[in-house]
Amino acid sequence: MTSSIPPITAIIVTYNSARTITAALMSLFPTYVDGILDVVVIDNNSSDKTAYIVESSFAWVKLIRSEENLGYGRGCNLGFKYVKSEYVLILNPDVELPSKSIDELLRFMHLNPEAGIVAPAIIENGKHYQAAGLMSTPKTVVGSMLDTGNLYPHKRIIYPGDTPFKTNWVCGAVMLIHSALFKQLHGFDPRFFLYFEETDLCKRVTEKGKEIWAIGTAIATHVGGASAVSSAKEYASGCISQHFYQSRLYYLVKHHGRIVAYSSDLIARMLQNARWLKNQLVKRNKNKSINKINLLFRLPPLVEKRHEV
């Protein structure tokens, strides 16, 4: 007698995701119909119609309404309580993942027992390809402010159609992980409200001796930052500044020690402020030059032109 439990449960954490959630769930529907996938949506107290859309249009999805915004990692951990499948698919609400790609990820997991996490090629905003191997360190945090060449020796673009390759980091927008491993690691560290939770998870997965793989034959599309845009807050590197810097500092403290973490964070912030100030001065001087040119064009000619009679 075969089990009625699908091999995969997708966890999607939403926050003001009304613009993208329909497309995300529609991309998963064929896999659900095939009996391969269940879906759990954790809505982080959205102020738009996200929860209503899921509840009214997707009866096959289990919707959990949180009374507060738990953040991304804690939201995923809450969703994991409803997972009985062998694998859990972590998926952003602005990602579309067709059934063929899910099959590719699942097939690779079955054939490679040492794989802890697998992730597809991701097309960002219809024109960019997501890279793998972007594991953050104090060196990369400081070096990113200095433009000092290749900071990520394991960095490699996941091009659609690429043969699978092993890496140390994949984007948290979409990843498939063994449920037993996720449970063993106690899920995402709940102290990350937003950002760096997948970096922390990838690091802990490799420390457990499990492998991380990028699978180019599986392809996902990602809008990117859709929920962040709805927050109307300040940004850094395309992320909400407050959460980005808090999470980055906590990650550095957790994995590299307090002294190294605070030192590298301080140096990076000072360099960032210096870069901002330099750009402002350049912009100011440029504007002054433009004003001088405009003034020059408005001045009357030094010698009045005589017309021939």
pLDDT of 281 reads: 85
Q: What is the pLDDT of residues 137-193, one digit of tens each?
A: 999 999 988 877 788 999 999 999 999 999 999 999 999 999 999 999 999 999 999
Cα(54)–Cα(180) distance, integer angstroms: 28
Residue range 277-302: average pLDDT? 59
> In this model, does residue 307 exceed pLDDT 50?
no
Q: Provide the residue type at 34 as one letter.
A: D
pLDDT of 289 reads: 56
State the DSSP code for 303. S
pLDDT of 232 reads: 45
pLDDT of 235 reads: 46
In the chain, DSSP assigns E strands to: 8-14, 37-43, 62-65, 87-91, 95-96, 115-124, 128-129, 131-132, 156-157, 165-167, 174-178, 211-222, 235-236, 239-240
Percent of the chain past pLDDT 70, that is, above it, reads 87
All structural domains of the chain: 8-231 (3.90.550.10)
pLDDT of 291 reads: 53
pLDDT of 128 reads: 94
pLDDT of 304 reads: 35
Q: 224: alpha, beta or left, given left = phi > 0 and alpha = psi -120 to 50?
A: left
* Average pLDDT score over the chain: 89
Q: What is the pLDDT of residues 18-45, one digit of tens each?
A: 999 999 999 999 999 999 999 999 999 9
CA–CA distance from 38 to each of 12, 31, 34, 107 (Å)?
Answer: 11, 9, 10, 17
pLDDT of 165 reads: 98
pTM given for the model:
0.85
